[in-house]
A and B are shown apart, each in its own frame.
Chain A
Amino acid sequence: MLNALLEQSSLFLQQLVNGVTLGSIYALIAVGYTMVYGVIQLINFAHGEIYMLGAFLSFSLVSGFFGIGLPFALAVTIAVLVCALAGVLLDVVAYRPLRKAPRLAALITAIGMSIFLQNLALLIWGAQIKSFPREAVPAFLFAPALQFGDVVISWLQIVILSVAVILMVFLQLIVHYTKIGRAMRAIAQDQTAAALMGVNVNRVVSFTFALGSGLGGVAGILVGLYYNAVYPTMGYFAGIKAFAAAVLGGIGSIPGAILGGGILGLAEVFGGGYISSSYSDGIAYAVMILVILVKPTGLFGRLSRDKA
């Protein structure tokens, strides 16, 4: 009896740890969706592909896929910077020309870019699942850091959680206490008025894309390591779940995206563990649809001036 109870509670704790890890990754991606939506009211469908790019680039640079193998830290830094740059390029090439066009046109373009990038990755890296070579990754990451009975927390899980927390704090500081952060908030409130007050809208939007895509790239690298699997469609599924997290938290709200990511990560792990493992992917879709239908502003969202 007592044994069964202990087993149950350690299973519960293990799920909790896994859920928090997953949730912090979703939060990192969701922030990218929510920032872009807040600034230009666009669901950047291709954001999941930036995340996928982060995983692939770090994998390629570490394993020498492009000919040279780089040290882990350098490879990861380059991958994140390239992701940030790719985000800016995505905006400049695909979205900026459509800023004045109907919103539907930009949304359809975002879907087009998502498909384009996903298949580009398929062309370059192939459909097979890639794994990080063990010897190229710092070994301590996969070692257990803490162990309570049957509950194991790996260093990687601790790294994921702390990276997510540090980046989120950093992000909040940028948005609330820097000049460019103030410009972002101004554009989110009223783009025309911000432009009239001398805010360089294009530059701020580029900065937003760089920031969001950089965070997405970090998430991609962390997931690539966590599941030790990198493949072209990884951005599609993670992107949808992170988007659901952003919707749940209230799209446009950064704290909302963080909370939404956490809730969704936990819901997925516990739902998969206790309710039905085959429908664990469905939780994200169901949450997304329900929130949109019942409370489109999410947990923290403001009522926009347009109807929701």
Chain B
Amino acid sequence: MHLDDRLFSDKKLYLPLLAAVLVLPWLPMGTAGPYVIRIATLTLLYMVLAQGLNVVPGFTGLLDLGYVGFFGIGAYTAGLLTVHYQWSLWLVLPLAVLNGALWGVLRGAPTLRLSDDYFAIVTFGFSELIILVLKNELWLTRGPMGVPGIARPDLFGRVLDQPWQTYYLILFFLLLVLWVVVRIRSSRLGRAWFAIREDEIAAECVGVNVAHYKIIAFALSAAIGALAGAFYARWFRFIHPDMFKFWESILILCLIVFGGMGSITGALIGALVLIPLTEILRIVLPAEFSSARYLIFGLLIVVMMRWRPAGLLPVERE
């Protein structure tokens, strides 16, 4: 049985893990507590992003190099709506998700017939154009000044201002996303995606409506990215066009390459290992090297592709 199915169906596996994640904020950590919780929150956020990206390259086999664009769309949709109308998180979040999904479809629809590398280039160009719009449409996004002072997340009218509260919030979103992708993975939809990934023409020939299923994948992937963006805007409370650069797309791609493209567990492990590692490197390395820490990510990608192209947890292919 595949690890993804085992992890999410075997109580002996997932209950202890869930318990560990739930008690984390309450462990005695002394003064390091808030910092550890911050990194844990960031890791969970990247787990959500990795799951969202995984839907397109992992499940349907199309390389998305501009995933951060949807993260940015979600963040700006939620951030701007919050700043202008002071709406609750639970109102702006669905709107951000819908806007993300809309752009996922708009970007995806014209690319349906493109081969892998052309698809990758279009996704890349799309996210670069998004950054340009964020930078230049001052009337909407305030451009390089960024959007400061975004309200914190809220729940039933109460503001979530404690680190452990935002930690549980993103944990809730992660579990929600995991529930969706795990269910889809073993559904008719998931099987259609895998068929497209293995051989698009063969899938078409046996009656899989390739265009239809690809569009669903684009919408879902973008929606998850926008969800993460909306959370990010309300958690970090400041957004800026530079936060959504090409780098971020590559970082998220690195997470799923490391864990194994197409593997849900792999995407989780990728984030679990690499995100805390980035933060540790930031502290450990002297200042002049810390900006070059992405060097390790570049090298990691190259090494993984050379020796473990299917990642640490390869997806079994029947």
Q: State the A residues within 8 Å of B (CB).
A: 41, 43, 94, 97-98, 101-109, 111-120, 122-123, 126-127, 236, 240, 243, 247, 276, 278-279, 281-282, 285-286, 288-289, 292-293, 296, 306-308
The answer to whether B306 and A97 have CB atoms under 8 Å apart is yes
Given contacts A115-B297, A285-B128, contact A127 B122 (CB under 8 A): no
The answer to whether B63 and A104 have CB atoms under 8 Å apart is yes
Shortest CB-to-CB span from B290 to chain A, Å, is 11
CA distance A308 to B119 in the complex (A): 10
Chain B contacts for A279, CB-based, 8 A: 132, 136
Chain B contacts for A292, CB-based, 8 A: 114, 118, 121-122
CA distance A295 to B293 in the complex (A): 39
How many residue pairs bridge A and B at CB < 8 Å?
Answer: 119
Q: Does B305 contact A (CB under 8 A)?
A: yes
The answer to whether B136 and A285 have CB atoms under 8 Å apart is no
Given contacts A115-B295, A289-B125, A293-B111, contact A107 B253 (CB under 8 A): no
The answer to whether A288 and B250 have CB atoms under 8 Å apart is no
Chain B contacts for A105, CB-based, 8 A: 305, 309
The answer to whether B298 and A113 have CB atoms under 8 Å apart is yes
Chain B contacts for A247, CB-based, 8 A: 121
Chain B contacts for A307, CB-based, 8 A: 113, 115
14 more A-B contacts (CB under 8 A) besides A107-B120, A122-B292, A281-B132?
A: A98-B306, A98-B309, A101-B305, A107-B116, A108-B63, A112-B298, A281-B128, A285-B128, A289-B122, A289-B125, A292-B122, A293-B114, A306-B115, A308-B114
Shortest CB-to-CB span from B53 to chain A, Å, is 13
Residue of B with least CB distance to A307: B115
Chain B contacts for A108, CB-based, 8 A: 63, 253, 257, 301, 305
CA distance A119 to B247 in the complex (A): 12
The answer to whether B295 and A285 have CB atoms under 8 Å apart is no
Q: Does B316 contact A (CB under 8 A)?
A: no
CA distance A94 to B298 in the complex (A): 12
CA distance A103 to B126 in the complex (A): 22
Q: Does B238 contact A (CB under 8 A)?
A: no
19 of the cross-chain contacts (CB-CB < 8 Å) are A41-B117, A98-B306, A101-B309, A106-B305, A107-B63, A108-B63, A108-B257, A111-B250, A111-B301, A112-B297, A122-B291, A122-B292, A122-B295, A123-B292, A278-B132, A289-B126, A293-B122, A296-B118, A308-B114
